Amino acid sequence: MSLPTTQTLPAVNQRHKKDFGPIATPERLLLGPGPSNAHPTVLNALSRPPIGHLDPLYVDLMAEVQELLRYAWQTDNRLTLPMSGTGSAAMEATIANCVEPGETVLVAVKGYFGNRLKDMADRYGANVKTIEKSWGEAFSLEELEAALISVKPSILAIVHAETSTGVCQPMHGIGDLCRKHNCLLLLDTVTSLGGVPLFIDEWRVDLAYSCSQKGLSCPPGLGPFTMGPRAESKLSQRKGKVPNWYLDVSLLNKYWGSDRVYHHTAPVNMNFGIREALRLLAQEGLENSWERHKINAEKLWSGFESLGLELHVPEELRLPTLTTLRIPKGVDGKAFALHLLNSHGIEIGGGLGDLAGKVWRIGLMGYNSTSENVNKVLNLFETELPRFRGTDS
Amino acid sequence: MSLPTTQTLPAVNQRHKKDFGPIATPERLLLGPGPSNAHPTVLNALSRPPIGHLDPLYVDLMAEVQELLRYAWQTDNRLTLPMSGTGSAAMEATIANCVEPGETVLVAVKGYFGNRLKDMADRYGANVKTIEKSWGEAFSLEELEAALISVKPSILAIVHAETSTGVCQPMHGIGDLCRKHNCLLLLDTVTSLGGVPLFIDEWRVDLAYSCSQKGLSCPPGLGPFTMGPRAESKLSQRKGKVPNWYLDVSLLNKYWGSDRVYHHTAPVNMNFGIREALRLLAQEGLENSWERHKINAEKLWSGFESLGLELHVPEELRLPTLTTLRIPKGVDGKAFALHLLNSHGIEIGGGLGDLAGKVWRIGLMGYNSTSENVNKVLNLFETELPRFRGTDS
């Protein structure tokens, strides 16, 4: 036996021991595609001393978070919980739990995040088929039904609020189509939850995911996830284990369900934050929050149009949470965004994928959807943008 | 085309709209297996207003976190970063990136977390072999070498600090054995990072993971991960894509590396927290932190022995961060722990798996490893435990 009682330890290497000062990040007004600013009381909740993840008081808090998430999502789904990762982890959770190798998944791609769903489904062994629309358009029911008929998928995955384009997919009738053609409906609600009308149960959505840092006014770090009875039944009939341990809902269910069996150490403080964020949303009321987002977005849109700027998405498809504004000819969009960040402390986003270099993305989400912020943005575009004309050929 | 311009929306269902008051969790002294209490300045950092995940200032902060993590882990590994999930996500990242289906993985199981590694490797299609020791023992070099010779694995996975048993695996020579037998060494350092001597490079560890909520004095929510050149080369030679999108280091490398390509929206505030936690560790110095943990643990051990209590692990294998104390005959261990929580605001842990009902687990980690906390625990065991004698048959 060679179990040395005292081991010789090497000397400590000081190469990476840097003498950094305390953190000194500035205040920013985050009006890009997210993260958005967090509500001050959410930040206070975040900084409470942690309690244990199996503490009876934490167990109560988990149930409160679940209940408030059900309200925000308008669902009775038992399996409604925040994944202990960001929105992309929750996105992957929907795929990992409900796709079995060899199954056909139809992804309706009309922007960057449709492509991400495609990549993920492919990694879980799905036979992935897509239908595509230009970045800035939405799908019609006829287009979706034609694809369902020809592809015969087990899951249709579609993005409600496409963060890369600013398009809101009209949802009326899609859930019924999926039942008719015997497939699950998987919905990306990352940029809609809290800010845009969203009805998981009424729309017959079987699987959905979102994030904490947009319509909920919480910092990024949690990925709300919900799974309806049809998806739950598909999960319970899987032939093999879910090929992802961390996101396995059959294990998570034992922790979040009545058994409270330890799975992983929950991100306790992030859950303090989202509980406060969801509480504030319930206090305001969904209808009021949706209306606030709509009014402020409309004010932003008409302001931009008054300045002679062009919106990328036709009005009837526009997201109240995220506006895509075309970069005028001759303007270096990146330089202008950097100027707003460095000289005015305001972050707006650039285009992604097909829209890179073509649009700015301006978010008015959660705590940031205020008339005052709309005025700030419009004033800056009015006074600063002219200086950037002719910066790009 | 049926893209309705105005969609009829259902009425909002108020069933789950609960009128909860603001969050009111109490202060707890967390002396269980983790989470441990966070340092107050870490909590302050957590509650700073978020900035964007592609903000140049955030990009600087990412580099600082990486550099300080390299110091804490004593490694030059380029691919050293906190995964955007808890320690279990980082654990899964080591497996997901470096195991290919059909490969043999040898897991040295001497507690609960060895079994978890086994479950994960199995999900990634590995041919999993195990060697086992009783919960409370460590492996000898001879035992490990015999298994390497007979199993011929591509990866040996072992736990440095077994949180379920309180055992610290002596590491001297294991890395050399793995080179000799041509396999990667994967190390669980969840309960050692920051509190127990740990030398990733000197010990020739190829893959390791940890958590934020123990020796680092930060709340749970991030999973430090590091990958050395041999593991990196294995990753780059994979036949297929990593079967886990969120934890795919080849994608994460483009965000954390010099390209800064968007992968997922980073949990910005948690990274504020861990930067501060790692900064405090560097300020104290690893040698001083390790020494502090050792001194306080030794004081706890001798105090327990003076009270006639029995420690589960032989002294030479004991973790300074986590002590397993045998529950005396006739004491209802669960009732006593609940009493400490409810009447004294102190959390200690119960046993897990094979040790359920047999031990308490008492953590002195990071910010909580103080002489004052040792005194508190010893005083409570002295005054309160006698009242629980005879509560269990």
Does B85 contact A88 at a Cβ distance shorter than 8 Å?
no
Residue in chain A closest to B101 (alpha carbons) equals: A243
Instruction: Check CB contact under 8 Å for B287 and A67.
Output: no
Q: Nearest-CA distance from B262 to chain A in Å?
A: 10
Instruction: State the amino acid at position A333 in one-letter form.
Output: G
Burial of A12: CB neighbours in 10 Å, binned 0-12, 13-18, 19+:
middle
Written as six digits, the tokens of B110 are 């001497």
- Six-digit token pair at B338? 């609940």
B359-363 vs B349-350, strand pairing mode: antiparallel
Question: Is A244 in Cβ contact with B74 (below 8 Å)?
Answer: no
| B243 interaction partners in chain A (CB closer than 8 Å) | 123-124, 243
Is residue B95 within 8 Å of residue B121, measured between CB atoms?
A: yes
- The CA-based angle A141-A147-A151, given to 5 degrees, is 150
Q: Which residues on chain B are in Cβ contact (under 8 Å) with A220? A: 50, 53, 265-269
Q: Measured between CB atoms, which of B17, B49, B141 is closest to A43? A: B49
* A171 part of contact set with chain B, CB < 8 Å: yes
Are B140 and A1 a contacting pair at CB < 8 A?
Answer: yes
For helices A112-123 and A87-98, the axis angle rounded to 10 degrees is 40
Distance from CA of B392 to the nearest CA of A (A): 22
A282-323: per-residue pLDDT in tens? 999 999 999 999 999 999 999 999 999 999 999 999 999 999
Contact A41/B at CB under 8 A:
yes
Q: Is A18 exposed, middle or buried (0-12, 13-18, 19+ CB in 10 A)?
A: middle
* Portion 357-386 of A in contact with B at CB < 8 A: none
Kindly determine whether residue B245 and residue A88, on different chains, have CB atoms separated by under 8 Å: yes
ipTM: 0.96
* Residue A76 to residue B272, Cβ atoms within 8 A: no
Residue among A25, A241, A246 minimizing CB distance to B85: A246
- Model confidence over A194-220: pLDDT tens digits? 999 999 999 999 999 999 999 999 999
Do the beta carbons of residue B139 and residue B133 sit within 8 Å? yes
Amino acid identity at B336 = F
Under an 8 A CB cutoff, do B241 and A122 touch? yes
CA distance to partner chain B, nearest, from residue A328 (Å): 23
A216 in contact with B, Cβ within 8 Å:
no
Between chains, do B142 and A28 touch, taking CB under 8 Å as contact? no
Q: H/E element holding A363?
A: strand A359-363
Question: What is the per-residue pLDDT for A257?
Answer: 81
> Both tokens of residue A276?
């406060």
Q: Are B361 and B322 in contact (CB under 8 A)?
A: yes
Short-list B311, B307, B292, B317, CA closest to B377: B307
Q: Which residues of A touch B48 (CB under 8 A)?
A: 23, 25, 43
| Residue A71 · residue A190 · CB < 8 Å | no
DSSP bridge partners of B162: B167
In whole angstroms, what is the distance from residue A369 CA to residue A350 CA? 19
What are the residues whose beta carbons fall under 8 Å from the beta carbon of A11, sequence distance 6 or more?
Answer: none
Q: Do A2 and B141 touch (CB under 8 A)?
A: yes
Contact residues, B window 131-160, toward A, CB-based 8 Å cutoff: 138, 140-142
Query: What are the structural domains of chain A?
Result: 29-34+285-388 (3.90.1150.10), 40-282 (3.40.640.10)
Q: Which residues contact B384 (CB under 8 A, 6 or more apart)?
A: B336, B339, B340, B344
Single-letter code of the amino acid located at B227 = M
Smallest CA–CA distance from B264 into chain A, residue? A88
Contact assignment for B46 to A46 by CB distance below 8 Å: yes
Give me the count of residues in chain B: 393
**CB of B75 within 8 A of CB of B103?**
no
Q: Which residues pair with B355 in a beta bridge?
A: none
Q: Is B97 left (phi over 0), alpha (psi -120 to 50) or beta?
A: alpha
> Per residue in A95-138, pLDDT tens?
999 999 999 999 999 999 889 999 999 999 999 999 999 999 99
Q: Which residues of B touch A241 (CB under 8 A)?
A: 122-123
Beta-bridged to residue A155, according to DSSP, are: A105, A184
Other residues' Cβ atoms within 10 Å of the Cβ of residue B21: 6
CB pairs under 8 A between A and B: 329
> DSSP letter at A318?
B
Q: Nearest Cβ partner of B269 from A22, A46, A262?
A: A46
Cβ of B219 within 8 Å of Cβ of A352? The answer is no
For residue B385, what are the contacts with CB-CB under 8 A and spacing of at least 6? B307, B328, B331, B336
Token pair listed for A323 = 């506006």
Q: Does B12 touch chain A (CB under 8 A)?
A: yes
State the Rg of chain B over Cα.
Answer: 23
CB contact under 8 A, B45 and A61: no
* Cβ under 8 Å to B: A residues 282-341: 282-283, 285-287, 316-317, 341
Residues of A in contact with B53 (CB under 8 A): 35, 220
Which segments within A76-180 are labelled E, that is strand? 79-83, 104-109, 127-132, 155-159, 161-162, 167-168
Look up tokens 């043999």; give the residue.
B104
Contact B246 A85 (CB under 8 A): yes
3-state secondary structure of A82: strand
Prediction pTM value: 0.96
Give the integer Cα–Cα distance in Å for B255 and B53.
10
What's the CA gap between A168 and A154, in Å, rounded?
24
Q: Say how far apart CA A350 and CA A158 lie, in whole Å.
A: 23
Q: Which of A2, A13, A22 sits opposite B74 (nearest CB)?
A: A13
Name the residue with tokens 């050792």: B294
Question: Each residue of A245-271: b (16+ CB within 10 Å) or e?
Answer: bbbbbebbbebbeeeeeebbbbbbbbb
Using alpha carbons, select from B268, B191, B194, B213 the residue that is nearest to residue B86: B213
Q: B102 CB near a chain A CB, below 8 Å?
A: no
Note whether A49 contacts B: Cβ–Cβ < 8 A.
Answer: yes
Supply the pLDDT for residue B2. Answer: 46
User: Strand order of the sheet with strand A104-109?
Assistant: A79-83, A223-227, A207-209, A184-188, A155-159, A104-109, A127-132
Cross-chain Cβ contact A15/B341 below 8 Å: no
Selecting from A48, A64, A92 the residue whose C-beta is nearest the C-beta of B246 gives A92
Which residue of B84, B339, B360 is the best one to mutate when testing the A interface, meaning the one whose CB has the most A CBs within 10 A? B84
Q: Residue A7: pLDDT band by 50, 70, 90 thresholds?
A: low
Between CA B75 and CA A15 the distance in angstroms is 9
Residue A48, chain B, CB below 8 Å: the answer is yes
- Residue A244 DSSP code: -
Alpha-carbon distance of A59 to A45, in angstroms, equals 17
Closest Cα partner for A387 from A326, A343, A323? A343
Name the residue in chain B with its Cα closest to that of A1: B140
Q: Which residues of chain B are modeled with pLDDT < 70?
A: 1-7, 393
Top pLDDT among A168 and A257 is at A168
Contact across the interface for A275 and B23, Cβ inside 8 Å? yes
Give the 3-state DSSP-derived string for chain B, with helices as H, strands as E and coil as C.
Answer: CCCCCCCCCCCCCCCCCCCCCCCCCCCCEECCCCCCCCCHHHHHHHCCCCCCCCCHHHHHHHHHHHHHHHHHHCCCCCEEEEECCCHHHHHHHHHHHHCCCCCEEEEEECCHHHHHHHHHHHHCCCEEEEEECCECECCCHHHHHHHHHHHCCCEEEEECEECCCCEECCCCCHHHHHHHCCCEEEEECCCCCCCCCCCCCCCCCCEEECCCCCCCCCCCCCEEEEECHHHHHHHHCCCCCCCCCCCCHHHHHHHHCCCCCCCCCCCHHHHHHHHHHHHHHHHHCHHHHHHHHHHHHHHHHHHHHHCCCCECCCHHHECCCEEEEECCCCECHHHHHHHHHHHHCEECEECCHHHCCCEEEEECCHHHCCHHHHHHHHHHHHHHHHHHECCCC
In this complex, is the C-beta atom of A346 within 8 Å of any C-beta atom belonging to chain B? no
Q: How many CB atoms lie within 10 A of CB B124?
A: 23
B247 CB contacts (<8 Å, ≥6 apart)?
A246, B83, B85, B89, B92, B93, B96, B97
Longest dimension (CA), chain B: 82
Q: Is A78 on the interface with B (CB under 8 A)?
A: no
φ, ψ at B81 (rounded to 5°) = -160, 160
Angle at A195 between CA A194 and CA A199, to 5 degrees: 65
Check if the beta carbon of residue A53 is closer than 8 Å to that of residue A266: yes
For chain A, how many helices (H) and strands (E)?
12, 14
* Cβ of residue B115 closer than 8 Å to a chain A Cβ: no
CA distance B198 to chain A (A): 9
- Closest partner residue to B246 (CB to CB) among A4, A89, A241 is A89
What pLDDT was estimated at residue B7? 60
Which of B7, B32, B47 lies closest to A46 in CB terms? Answer: B47
B176 at A interface, C-beta within 8 A: no
Do the Cβ atoms of A220 and B50 come within 8 Å?
A: yes
SS3 call for A227: strand
The tokens 């004593």 sit on which residue? B74
- Residue B8: what pLDDT? 79
Chain A residue closest in CA terms to B190: A265
